Amino acid sequence: MKTCFLSIDVEFLSSRSDKENKNTKGIKELNNILNIFKKHNANATLFTTGEVLEEYKDLAKQWAEKYEIACHNYRHVSIDNLTQEQREKELDQFKNLYKEIFNKQPTGYRAPRNIIDNEQMNLLQEKGFLYDSSVFPRYPWPKKYAGYKGRAPKKPYHPSKKDYKKQGGMKILEIPES
């Protein structure tokens, strides 16, 4: 039996501070896609930024009735542009907001632009995340993609503390994208 994981990244196209360019159409129309999932009884994970959760709390609560809401950072910024302190702040802000809205801790994470590294993987485990879904195990044809950092297992695995693209002994589970 094969298993398929459906996921959608839910984010603003530009940062919240850029209110004039913030595109919210996709967020407002997400229910159109979710209605198709519902019709076919398909589960999905919505990797959502904290900015979206903050602005659309009621909508997020509706989504959470049927779908998993997971972390896509507080803001949709690549972690390679952040210091360790900023990375921790992004996760802590998201986790605090998530707990306020859903009264529980988030379990899943996907890095913006799928840019992940060893430091972030270790930080996720330290912060109590159970799984990550940021790794592209093979080059995503036909264009160059910033998130691809080299081959990795195609099936779920527990990463190595020293190389997140290899099987190892970490508790966190990597669920690679296909």
Which of 26-30, 131-135, 146-150, 170-174 has the weakest average pLDDT? 146-150
Higher pLDDT, 150 or 162: 162
Instruction: Tell whether the model's pLDDT for residue 20 goes beyond 60.
Output: no
- At 63 the pLDDT is 95
- Across residues 23-31, what is the average pLDDT? 80
What is the sign, positive or negative, of the torsion defined by CA atoms of 56, 61, 67, 68? Answer: positive
Higher pLDDT, 14 or 34: 34
Q: State the CB neighbour count (10 A cutoff) for residue 37.
A: 15
- At 96 the pLDDT is 98
At residue 139 the predicted structure's pLDDT band, cuts being 50, 70 and 90, is confident
What are the φ/ψ torsions at residue 69 (nearest 5 degrees)?
-105, 125
What are the φ/ψ torsions at residue 54 (nearest 5 degrees)?
-65, -45
What percentage of the chain carries pLDDT values higher than 90?
Answer: 74
For the segment 2-18, what is each residue's pLDDT rounded down to a tens digit? 777 889 999 987 555 55
Higher pLDDT, 135 or 1: 135
Higher pLDDT, 94 or 145: 94
Counting Cα atoms < 13 Å in the Cβ hemisphere of 102 gives: 24
For the segment 93-117, what is each residue's pLDDT rounded down to a tens digit? 999 999 999 999 999 999 999 999 9
DSSP 82: S
At residue 23 the predicted structure's pLDDT band, cuts being 50, 70 and 90, is low
Instruction: Tell whether the model's pLDDT for residue 158 goes beyond 60.
Output: yes
Q: Compute the residue count for the chain.
A: 178
- Across residues 63-89, what is the average pLDDT? 96
